[in-house]
Amino acid sequence: MADPLHIPGPPTRLYSAYLFDLDGTVYLGDRLLPGARETVLGLRDAGIPVRFLSNNPTKNPAEYAQKLGQMGLPTPVEEITNTVVSTTRWLRANAPGAVVYPIAEMPVIDALRAAGIAISDDPRRIDIVLASYDRTFTYAKLQIAFDALWRADRGARLMSTNPDRYCPFPAGRGEPDTAGIVAAIEATTGVRCERTFGKPEAPIAQMALEGVGVEPAECAMVGDRLSTDIAVARAAGLASVLVLTGDSRPEEVQRLPPPQRPTHVVPSIADLYPAGDAAPKGPDVYVPRR
């Protein structure tokens, strides 16, 4: 009988494409995690597609590309998808005439405006209350959401950019994230959030992998959170690799039923390559070996 406390081991082969979470996986704060640069450059050098996927809506893809470049990992903006992108694309495609009230920071607001999506803080006009990570959240904003969702003629719908409870910081768990704002709105109105545009929902991973041309089972999602990164891999049919440099711990993996466990668990992104299996290297690229 299989050991019910078994923790999956490291990969035994390279996958045909990789989708990386950012916070807690590739970097913490403003520093790359050990081995991140070498691992990503090694994969690229081997011709293996690499994409990045984040639930954090406080930067747009261009800002993420700039941040990665400043940390020593130059990355084309086209390789980065986050909830600013997934939210805007869904609203344009599925609610083109909707008036949105974003409880959000400027990257989300700017992206909505750039996409031609109508924005209002008038509860009588609002069709969708969009909750997001917002460090300027106030009682006044909660009141607008409350009034829009409770509007007598036709209540608005509640959606969110991402379901995260907190944003990771180098020294600990950091700041409250979107889940706290959603909870405040749900608790006061009784209206449930009907859709989130981030992990663990499959569409954001599928969006990030558009054009890669690899079957889902041949792509590995690498991340530090069981509830988002590993769950989105399961939802999208991807293999999954949990790194232990961020949110989730081995004992949490042990508590999960086997179907919900990651395909692999490794200490960090530096341990992604199988033992003895290294991609071709450029002159300044070190590929980690186990």
User: What does each C-alpha distance from 196 to 14, 99, 164 come to in angstroms?
Assistant: 31, 17, 10
Retrieve residue 262's tokens: 């990651």
Query: Interior CA angle at 227 toward 226 and 230, to 5°?
Result: 50
Catalytic: 21? yes
Helix boundaries (H) for the chain: 36-45, 61-70, 83-94, 106-114, 139-149, 178-189, 202-208, 231-236, 250-255
Residue 177 annotated to the active site: no
Q: Which amino acid type is present at position 14?
A: L
Angle value at C-alpha 169, between 201 and 261, nearest 5 degrees: 40
Residues for the chain: how many in total? 290
21, 134, 164, 271: the active-site residue: 21
| Cα distance between residue 162 and residue 86, in whole Å | 10
Among 3, 23, 134, 229, the active-site one is: 23
- As annotated, the active-site residues are 21, 23
